[in-house]
């Protein structure tokens, strides 16, 4: 993971902890657990989106797509017209 990715994780975790401290007095414990689980899922989704946008495609995938060609058969040949 890149240094930028680590910074994003630290920022999101810090924001989440600050919000949870503010909401501790107002939100019941059961709802806090639900919100923490939702926060984890959101962080995971954001990191997957970030990594998908930043990380280049692997070389093997690119090479495989470039080499993939349609196989021709006898039926695919040109038909002479008289």
**Model confidence pLDDT, tens digit, residues 26-62:** 888 888 889 889 988 988 888 888 888 877 666 665 5
Say what the pTM is: 0.46
In a domain, 8, yes or no: yes
In a domain, 78, yes or no: no
In a domain, 10, yes or no: yes
Name the pLDDT band for 70 (thresholds 50, 70, 90).
low
In a domain, 67, yes or no: no
Domain that holds residue 45: 3-57
In a domain, 14, yes or no: yes
Task: Return the closest-CA partner of residue 9 out of 50, 38, 37.
Answer: 50
In a domain, 77, yes or no: no
- The tokens of 72 are what? 């021709």
In a domain, 31, yes or no: yes
d(CA 5, CA 47): 8
d(CA 66, CA 54): 22
Mention every residue, 6+ apart, whose C-beta is less than 8 A from residue 27.
35
């Amino acid at each position: 993971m890149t240094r930028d990715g680590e910074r994003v994780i630290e920022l999101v975790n810090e924001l989440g902890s600050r919000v949870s401290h503010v909401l501790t007095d107002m939100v019941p414990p059961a709802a806090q657990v639900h919100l923490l689980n939702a926060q984890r899922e959101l962080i995971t989704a954001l990191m997957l989106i970030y990594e998908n946008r930043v990380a280049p495609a692997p070389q093997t995938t690119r090479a495989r797509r470039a080499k993939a060609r349609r196989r021709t058969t006898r039926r695919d040949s040109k038909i002479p017209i008289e």
